[in-house]
Each structure stands twice: as structure tokens, then as C-alpha cells.
Amino acid sequence: MTDFDDELSLAELTETASEVDQPRIARAVREILLAIGEDPDRDGLKETPARVAKSYAEIFAGLHQSPSDLLATTFDLDHEEMVLVKDIPFYSTCEHHLVPFHGSAHIGYIPSHDGKVTGLSKLARLVDVYARRPQVQERLTTQIVDALMDNLQPVGAIVVIECEHLCMSMRGVRKPGAKTVTSAVRGQLRETATRAEAMSLILGR
């Protein structure tokens, strides 16, 4: 029996409402601490398994959130030109090493002919729904653009993501500052002229 038996720890572990099994994470973190040769019962580490569990519930909350619910609120505007929200900062977790990758997302779309648009904040929330999961940057990029296409039926959409991966900075190849850029383009934005306009809006700083 550990300090993180379900009954014992439930109260302290449910502050962040979530479907993530926090007691189970806490038990696993205690094991990791033991495995690296630490003493999980020393003062500074006693609360660490519970803290990590709470933190994981937040970091991986996107696994239990639906992009369709998020994009369900739409309104009609007579606007058939490009809408672009750029420099949306976010943090995600590399699914290979479970360390962060972070950077900016840029999202643009040309609304459907009936002018179906979503609130600008929903685009930023959409990034978090997919970023708060174990991820790779390429999948994060295509999931965001496909969610836009499926839910808003726009004429076209583009997502560009620029990130630094801590698995490449703090360990392994150790190249801090290296940036990875990915893009995904759908619909009319695949056409050269429109795509070039979107890219110049995104990258022109």
C-alpha cells in the first residue's frame, strides 16, 4: 500500500477536475523517483507525486475535450475573405520523451460561402485541445486544420506551427534554439496565390 492509495489521496488529487486517473499517476511517479535513486519520502519530494499528477491532469486535459463541442458555436458574417489569428502561443508534450515542445501556432481560413465563422478565441482554444495531449508536431498541425474543415466547412484553411522541442534542446542531440516549422493547407488555400498571401501574412513580422 502506498501513500497514493485511491481513497487516501482522492481529496488532494481532485482539485483539477479531470478524467485523468491522478492516483495512478502519483503511484507511477513515486516509482520513477525510486528508480532514479531518489528518496520519495524526503521532505522536498513528499508531495511531488501528487503535484505531478495534478499537473498531468492539466497538461493532458485535451484528451478528454472535443473540438466539435468547441466549434459548435458559430455565427454568420458576410465575410468571405481570409481570417487569420497568428502567434498563438502554446505548450505541448512530445509523445516520444514526454518533455515539452512549445512555440506558436498560426491559423487562417476563408469562411464558407454562407459566411460561417467561429469566435477568434475558439481558434486559440482549438490549439490547446490538441496540444494538451501526447503529440508530435506534424499531427498537431493536421488535426487543427482538419477540425476546422470538418466543423466550419470553410473554403480553405491553413495552419502553420513553429516550435522548439526540449527533447532536442536539453537532451539527446542538444541543439537549443533549433526551430521546427510545419504547415498543413486544405481547400482553396492550396492554390499558389492564396497560399502565398497566407504565408506572407503569417511570416511577415
Ligand X SMILES: Nc1nc2c(ncn2[C@@H]2O[C@H](COP(=O)(O)OP(=O)(O)OP(=O)(O)O)[C@@H](O)[C@H]2O)c(=O)[nH]1
Is 167 annotated to bind a ligand? Reply is yes
Whichever of 142 and 153 has its CB closer to ligand X, that residue is 142
How near is the Cβ of 56 to ligand X at its closest, in Å? Answer: 18
Q: Of the candidates 52, 57, 50, which has an alpha carbon nearest to the alpha carbon of residue 132?
A: 57
Q: Which does 190 bind (CB under 5 to 8 A by kind): ligand X, Zn ion, none?
A: none
Regarding 11 and contact with ligand X (CB under 6 A), the answer is no
- H/E run at residue 176: none
Regarding 96 and contact with ligand X (CB under 6 A), the answer is yes
- The residues near 139 (Cβ < 8 Å, ≥ 6 apart) are none
How near is the Cβ of 36 to ligand X at its closest, in Å? Answer: 17
Catalytic annotation on 106?
A: no
**Bridge pairing between strands 83-94 and 134-135:** parallel
Catalytic annotation on 64?
A: no
Catalytic annotation on 97?
A: yes
Within 115-134, which residues bind ligand X (CB under 6 A)?
A: none
Is 94 annotated to bind a ligand? Reply is yes
- The residues near 193 (Cβ < 8 Å, ≥ 6 apart) are none
The phi and psi torsions of 135 (rounded to 5 degrees) equal: -140, 165
How near is the Cβ of 29 to ligand X at its closest, in Å? Answer: 21
HSE-CB at 195 with a 13 A cutoff on CA atoms is 12
Catalog residues that contact ligand X under the rule CB under 6 A: 94, 96, 136-138, 165, 167-168, 172-173
